[in-house]
Structure 1
């Protein structure tokens, strides 16, 4: 991204601040333009900032904007301006029934190309390539066969669907970016400016740094908290990892283990309430439910994910005889709370507003205002007018990649809807799996991981929501469980080899091998791969149903993820034999399943293996293993 200074930096900064201010204003007043106009304005801001800040070629960061990018920014404004000049015509016409004029066609084609190019610049080529493939599919239908066949779309209908309706570029994903995501990103930007990131790290060090494997546990605590600021796994790694990974290596963790811990902990920030990744807001919109409902449903799986990681780190550290940080290097918890503890209050305010029924938009705005006021409880953390301007600017800039991803994903959604691909693919998947839910889930899992390798979580999830989730629901899965399943594996692609972006980022900081770090990350993230299958079959893990089964699921599942960590790390009371590890794994799977019978059997199996570990010490396990 370009680092513009002087006049150019002032102009671009002003545009970014104006973008944030407008979106706050639009949610606070009834005088702002309607929803359709808001989407046009969001895309205009996003396109202009994309071309002014992101260079055409990666790796080049000139301090000026070349004329070609100024032309592209001008074309972006012209294409959106055309929609406002002809606003009544655009919103009142019958899509795909009223013919487009030649000018309409030209504007639609240029705007679509601009969206694809801006997306390529901001998040990479994978998503634009996918969108182009779907556009080609729209025209190639008559030459295909089987479930891929359709009558084909004319160029006019394809452009109409893509740019002039609310089911293409300006569809649900873009709506979510314009109404919810930008406000939460602004909140996170202000939170970061207040010094909350430093507080989260100090707080985590104070409560966990002195324990066995303390720096690894610090990474878990700090990364889960930092997810409140950033919904990006890679961003979490780059902010936390420079401190936690060297600390882990200093206390004895191998580089691969340190990188894996930070990558897995940072990836969990997207699934950890109260502020999850942008895909969670899209999920709420697709289902027609409140974000609060999605947030509540995500609580138990997130706790299992981090609980399993925390336990795995502990077992790994104990087995290797690792210690925590020396007491003199640890911050004092009381001192940290007194000096910086007030910075956690805005998060509590936001959570309370969401739970009490406020919309996410008002919740984010009120929490941001509360943050500015609360920051002045101590002058050292007070947000002045310059810091507020920087927060507004950074919030807009960080929104641009999300908005462009949503716009390009909307192109795919529009083609899927117009060609009827979703219905045919659902029927094909059910026939292909012979109605087997487990096989359909495995296909969805692989698809989520593969899609997430080349694009951010949000568009990867949107692709699954369009094609795979309907098939899972057709097989009897509750909507929330089906969508959450796809969401989880879109997130976990960040730690799944061969393309694991969060692992790559962590490995580069720790000087670790990529493949070794990736394999270790899969072990540490095991709960994330297993728990989604269980909440599909029993929604009690998503806080659905009576309270007693939910409570039972939490208790048995919490024990189960600890047993899972023992199985994968090969340690509990002592180093485990392979047979004992197998028993731990069986107990874990039985306990995570929120069923009374399986939970009781799991407890019995766990009690047996713990008794064996307590009373019998094989010679082969006397020597403690090294960390892997």
Structure 2
């Protein structure tokens, strides 16, 4: 079957993205307007690279310009309503809003010294610019991100102003309008606060890194590699989806984008093989959502954790590694059992790509290996991102046959030459030599007719991808600013702990519900900011360390993408699979059951996050957790080595939960139950239990 038959058309993918992902609902511009927007996007990326690497600006100026670029581009690209979207045209009022956005972004650079000298004493112009900034940020967020976070931010502003009228524990003395406007735009605790600071540095650079990865063709290579490694296994296409989506998570910060790009390839394969539509969509939604839990990028929220918790990035990525692997192990196990239960095999030889050709392109994974190396070697996050981008450009150029012989010579000569010079003078480190060799090699390739257009396109695409993040983090800054101004975070934390009567499991449960509800319909960065500000303090009050507490709310904010009734990733998957949305969401949530369990594990046993543990302890914890996942997967699917009777499913579920709960006694009980249920699979014959052998592919299709 051809690739065209196996995957969705680009038009269909775009239609689904626009329906379920507000960040994709952009105007289709042509002619002069398209060129103007193109050059503004390019200028945005060049400005970011220049100010974060060569000439840093004062924080307020840099963040204000970052927001200004975002506002201008959002009003030019995102229509006020999809119903009013006219191809190739921009409404006059959107041009006015874009000009006002430019004024907001330029205000701090133009009047920086005067604002600083006034020391919080606003002028009349300051006041109106501040109100304009808040209004434009809310409208830009509505257009580029969606209503949920916009409504939450607006409600927080209402709460700050009308504090005296609030009921019960929510009451506070209120914040007058002048003070509210001043804190929202003329301090670093509102729109220009920590969220936009992270967006304007770490996140933007890593979005550029992802954009350059896409230009190298690594996205398609992920699919080819996944098919090569997992395609012929039992239920192969489902495992291809898991493998591919886990890799796609390194270059995408959106569950919906993951679902559509990877799912347009994997879901048709799963359906053709015999998987039910809702199950096929559920597999892709669960796997694509899990991509945001997978280091090194983790949906960009890991970079926010750096600022919120105050630890280095590598500690966060290292802590996230084992929970992410357990998550994908759980999804893999359940899809395997479903395939065995319904008698689904893997792909045929004719449907498999040429293994030799696929492995010849293994060099396309070098940028990901490189970024992990850079981050683990002690480099700053921004420098690691820049080096990652340079590595990606170099790898992308290696696709050109005419440059493959030039590269080793140029790179080797420059690297060795600088290395020798540096060892003699002490002026260069090994890293500096390698980076310089990379830059020289790239420049040489461009001089010899290299594909410079791909680099420009990657800069433009990266800036376009960042627009939703700019809006979301600016709006989230409003929320954080109100929480800081009113002390709401501590009040909500105390109320959650009081509601749970100080019981840690109940507090975790209520925090989970809060994180899922607040995360519904919000992008990764926004839902983490909201949940870490409102929900995480409740766990910290009970003595839970910062990292497990923040990872807990981060996980459940992500899980909101596949938790009905508002499950955007599952709904996008249903659009690709032509399935019923709620049932697809239920299947996705069932497959992602690990994501509902693992956070409890690492809060109760932080060793799972590699905190204060030894290698042997970690191996034991992972072993018991995987055994628990096996038992829970068998219980939920109803199949292991044969189909399970109802009482076996209950025993398997109970044993699995006991294994997953950390503790010596629970592990002993769980392993005993695990051994019993495993023994029953072989000792009790299927004929004795009256269980049919397999339903087969025809039954699955029906």
Query: CA–CA distance in 2 between the matches of 1:377 and 1:464?
Result: 43
> In structure 2, do the counterparts of structure 1 residues 370 and 93 end up closer, same or farther at CA, with 3 Å as the change threshold?
same
Task: Specify every segment of 5 or more residues in structure 2 that has no aligned partner in the other structure, as ranges.
Answer: 1-25, 404-449
Shift of 1:41: 1.4
Shift of 1:334: 2.8
Render the CA deviation track for 1:102-146: whole Å, top value 9, x for unaligned.
111111001110111111110112211111111111121112232
Render the CA deviation track for 1:530-550: whole Å, top value 9, x for unaligned.
111111111011111121322
Matched with 2:348 is: 326
Shift of 1:61: 4.5
Shift of 1:278: 2.0
**Equivalent residues of 2:225, 2:358 under 8 A apart:** yes
Query: CA–CA distance in 1 between the matches of 2:402 and 2:469?
Result: 29
Matched with 2:399 is: 378
Shift of 1:451: 1.7
Write the mapping of 1:201-600 to structure 2, written as runs, cut at 5 A. 201-338=223-360, 340-379=361-400, 384-547=451-614, 548-600=616-668
- TM-score, length basis structure 2: 0.87
Query: CA–CA distance in 1 between the matches of 2:472 and 2:626?
Result: 36
Query: CA–CA distance in 1 between the matches of 2:305 and 2:274?
Result: 41
Query: CA–CA distance in 1 between the matches of 2:662 and 2:681?
Result: 26
Of 251-260 and 601-610, more deviation after overlay is shown by 601-610
Query: CA–CA distance in 1 between the matches of 2:352 and 2:32?
Result: 45
Render the CA deviation track for 1:542-561: whole Å, top value 9, x for unaligned.
11112132222122212221
Matched with 1:616 is: 684
1:44 paired to 2:68: yes
2:129 to 91, 107, 112: 107
SS at match of 2:520: helix
How many residues end up aligned between the 2 structures? 623
Query: CA–CA distance in 2 between the matches of 1:101 and 1:79?
Result: 15
**Equivalent residues of 1:195, 1:381 under 8 A apart:** no
**What root-mean-square deviation, in Å, do the aligned CA atoms of Structure 1 and Structure 2 show?**
1.6
Of 531-540 and 423-432, more deviation after overlay is shown by 423-432
Render the CA deviation track for 1:51-101: whole Å, top value 9, x for unaligned.
11111112525312222111111111112222222202334554xxx4322
SS at match of 1:48: helix
Query: CA–CA distance in 1 between the matches of 2:629 and 2:605?
Result: 17
SS at match of 1:435: coil
Render the CA deviation track for 1:319-354: whole Å, top value 9, x for unaligned.
11111110121013332011x211100100000000
Of 482-491 and 143-152, more deviation after overlay is shown by 143-152
**Equivalent residues of 2:69, 2:105 under 8 A apart:** no
Task: Specify every segment of 5 or more residues in structure 1 that has no aligned partner in the other structure, as ranges.
Answer: none
Shift of 1:597: 3.1
Matched with 2:418 is: none
Query: CA–CA distance in 2 between the matches of 1:67 and 1:416?
Result: 36
> In structure 2, do the counterparts of structure 1 residues 28 and 441 end up closer, same or farther at CA, with 3 Å as the change threshold?
same
1:86 paired to 2:111: yes
> In structure 2, do the counterparts of structure 1 residues 238 and 472 end up closer, same or farther at CA, with 3 Å as the change threshold?
same
Matched with 1:69 is: 94
1:20 to 39, 45, 58: 45
Query: CA–CA distance in 1 between the matches of 2:333 and 2:648?
Result: 17
Query: CA–CA distance in 2 between the matches of 1:587 and 1:313?
Result: 20
Query: CA–CA distance in 1 between the matches of 2:355 and 2:627?
Result: 29
Query: CA–CA distance in 2 between the matches of 1:605 and 1:450?
Result: 35
**Equivalent residues of 1:406, 1:458 under 8 A apart:** yes
**Equivalent residues of 1:564, 1:585 under 8 A apart:** yes
SS at match of 2:298: coil
Shift of 1:598: 2.2
Shift of 1:623: 4.1
**Equivalent residues of 1:527, 1:564 under 8 A apart:** no
**Equivalent residues of 1:27, 1:362 under 8 A apart:** no
Query: CA–CA distance in 1 between the matches of 2:82 and 2:399?
Result: 42
> In structure 2, do the counterparts of structure 1 residues 569 and 92 end up closer, same or farther at CA, with 3 Å as the change threshold?
farther
1:55 paired to 2:79: yes
Shift of 1:35: 2.5
Shift of 1:423: 2.1
Matched with 2:439 is: none
Of 321-330 and 555-564, more deviation after overlay is shown by 555-564
Matched with 1:11 is: 36
Shift of 1:619: 3.0
Matched with 2:156 is: 134
**Equivalent residues of 2:496, 2:511 under 8 A apart:** no
SS at match of 1:621: coil
Query: CA–CA distance in 2 between the matches of 1:119 and 1:356?
Result: 37
SS at match of 2:566: coil
**Equivalent residues of 1:549, 1:594 under 8 A apart:** no
Query: CA–CA distance in 2 between the matches of 1:451 and 1:104?
Result: 32
Shift of 1:601: 2.3
1:194 to 216, 226, 230: 216
